[in-house]
Amino acid sequence: MNKSGITSLHDRRRGINVAGGAFAPGKSLLRNPLDLIAFWDRRLEKRRCLVKLPDYLLADIGLTREQAEAEYKTPFWKEGIY
């Protein structure tokens, strides 16, 4: 997923379900530690972008400011709360 929130073809080829935060069946990021680090980096970047959104945009996607902040505070290695 790029900074604008759009899933790239590159993410789809790697077997990463970016929307749900889960991995495609049979795909393990543990095989290549660099893939795991890249996945965590993308997750962290998405959380940074989410917390910067104004309240009216958060409401458009069904989140409150408190939910966005809770997601932001979730450790990068853990799947999100929302």
81 in a structural domain? no
66 in a structural domain? yes
pLDDT of residue 49: 97
Tell me if residue 16 falls in helix, strand or coil: strand
pLDDT per residue over 20-60, tens digit each? 455 554 567 667 889 999 999 999 999 999 999 999 999 99
Q: Is the pTM of this model over 0.75?
A: no
pLDDT of residue 24: 53
Count of domains observed in the chain: 1
60 in a structural domain? yes
Tell me if residue 62 falls in helix, strand or coil: coil
Checking 4-12 for CB contacts under 8 A at 24+ apart, the result is: 5/46, 5/49, 11/42
pLDDT of residue 39: 93
Host domain of residue 46: 9-73
1 in a structural domain? no
For residue 5 the two structure tokens come to: 């929130």
46 in a structural domain? yes
3 in a structural domain? no
